[in-house]
């Protein structure tokens, strides 16, 4: 296939490298920063530049853009896409993107599939992209209800060939609800945690717990602001839930209530064991 990757940042750049290095597909790339494209060509991450002239030849187009920019790009270029082409996004929210893109796809004769690779770093940009980014990772796919099974098999085959070992199928609503907990809340908590007055004093007093809990505090505020607002109802629900739970611990400490505190800690441990067992992320 001829595959285009639009946006050669951390995820787009990693996808381009993984497809180019691990498959026989040809890869065309585009980035708003032309220097990034030149670097991608120099490193062999892409075969050439995606242009208005060759976009109609692409069998698959994958966007590595923010949600709003993704929608804008697809709508503005929909009439240039090859009839029957498969177009995928990689956004961290789905309901905001997919409903509009499915409608656009129907009007212009291509197939849109929502996609969310569950992999990444707290860093950004092509310079941090990795060919091994998706090794043993999960790919979430959100197809339209009446999707063509053959097209979905093409998508699954590609992602399995570049390192993904789990392909998860879901709906927009389920995706956004679960991602609010597994990803977005974690970023909020981490970002808030480092605002303690004692954070400046942690060196020499911190180990794995501090590193694990603060890793994603160093986030891209532009991207995450957009993602949080586009999934705000689900994220508010998760923030309110953890706030209520934290208050129970605080109240037990204020009341010097060892019985309640021990019960809360035991309940949390048992929740983790019941949910994940020996699972390690």
Domains recognised in the chain with CATH numbers:
2-170 (3.40.50.720), 175-276 (1.10.3660.10)
Cα–Cα distance for residue pair 79/110, rounded to 1 Å: 10
Taking a C-beta distance cutoff of 8 angstroms, is the pair 14, 133 a contact? Answer: yes
Indicate if the pLDDT at residue 169 is higher than 60: yes
Taking a C-beta distance cutoff of 8 angstroms, is the pair 48, 211 a contact? Answer: no
Per-residue confidence (pLDDT) for residue 123, from 0 to 100: 75
Cα angle 122, 26, 90; round to 5: 35
Q: What is the pLDDT of residues 19-77, one digit of tens each?
A: 999 999 999 999 999 999 999 999 999 999 999 999 999 999 999 999 999 999 999 99
| Mean pLDDT on 96-113 | 97
Per-residue confidence (pLDDT) for residue 278, from 0 to 100: 66
Indicate if the pLDDT at residue 243 is higher than 70: yes
Task: Kindly list the distances between the CA atom of residue 145 and the CA atoms of 98, 141, 148, 149, 273, in Å, as whole numbers in the listed order.
Answer: 12, 12, 9, 11, 35
Q: Using N-to-C axis directions, what is the helix angle for 95-108 and 172-179, rounded to 10°?
A: 150
Cα–Cα distance for residue pair 38/32, rounded to 1 Å: 11
Per-residue confidence (pLDDT) for residue 69, from 0 to 100: 97
Taking a C-beta distance cutoff of 8 angstroms, is the pair 48, 127 a contact? Answer: no
Task: Kindly list the distances between the CA atom of residue 106 and the CA atoms of 99, 101, 230, 231, in Å, as whole numbers in the listed order.
Answer: 11, 9, 24, 25
Taking a C-beta distance cutoff of 8 angstroms, is the pair 12, 5 a contact? Answer: yes
Task: Cite the DSSP H helix spans in 55-125.
Answer: 67-77, 95-108
- Residue 143 pLDDT class (50, 70, 90 cuts): very high
* Residue whose C-alpha is closest to residue 179's, from 133, 106, 247, 230: 230
- Residue 279 pLDDT class (50, 70, 90 cuts): low
Q: What is the pLDDT of residues 115-135, one digit of tens each?
A: 999 997 777 899 999 999 999
- Residue 160 pLDDT class (50, 70, 90 cuts): very high
Give the largest CA-CA distance in the chain.
71
CA dihedral for 141, 144, 149, 154, sign (positive or negative): negative
Q: Are strands 2-6 and 60-63 parallel, antiparallel or unpaired?
A: parallel
Indicate if the pLDDT at residue 138 is higher than 70: yes
Indicate if the pLDDT at residue 281 is higher than 60: no
Supply the mean pLDDT for the chain.
95
């Amino acid at each position: 296939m001829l595959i285009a990757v639009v946006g050669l940042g951390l995820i787009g750049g990693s996808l381009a490298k993984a497809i180019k290095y691990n498959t026989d597909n040809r890869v065309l790339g585009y980035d708003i920063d032309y220097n990034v494209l030149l670097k991608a060509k120099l490193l062999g991450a892409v075969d050439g530049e995606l242009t208005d002239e060759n976009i109609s030849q692409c069998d698959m187009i994958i966007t590595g853009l923010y949600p709003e920019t993704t929608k804008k790009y697809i709508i503005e270029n929909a009439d240039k896409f090859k009839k029957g082409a498969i177009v995928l996004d990689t956004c961290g929210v789905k309901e905001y993107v997919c409903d509009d893109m499915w409608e656009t796809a129907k009007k212009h004769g291509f197939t849109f599939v929502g996609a969310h690779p569950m992999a990444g770093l707290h860093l950004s940009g092509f310079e941090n992209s990795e060919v091994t980014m998706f090794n043993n990772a999960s790919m979430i796919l959100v197809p339209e209800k009446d999707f063509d099974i053959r097209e979905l098999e093409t998508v699954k085959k590609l992602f399995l060939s570049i390192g993904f070992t789990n392909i998860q199928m879901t709906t927009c609503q389920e995706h956004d609800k679960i991602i609010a907990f597994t990803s977005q809340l974690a970023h909020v908590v981490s970002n808030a945690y480092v605002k303690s007055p004692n954070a400046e004093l942690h060196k020499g007093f911190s180990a794995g717990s501090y590193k694990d809990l603060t890793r994603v505090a160093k986030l891209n505020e532009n991207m995450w602001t957009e993602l949080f607002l586009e999934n705000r109802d689900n994220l508010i629900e998760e923030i309110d839930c953890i706030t209520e739970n934290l208050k129970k611990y605080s109240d037990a400490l204020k009341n010097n209530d060892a019985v309640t505190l021990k019960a809360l800690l035991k309940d949390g441990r048992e929740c983790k064991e019941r949910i994940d067992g020996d699972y390690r992320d």
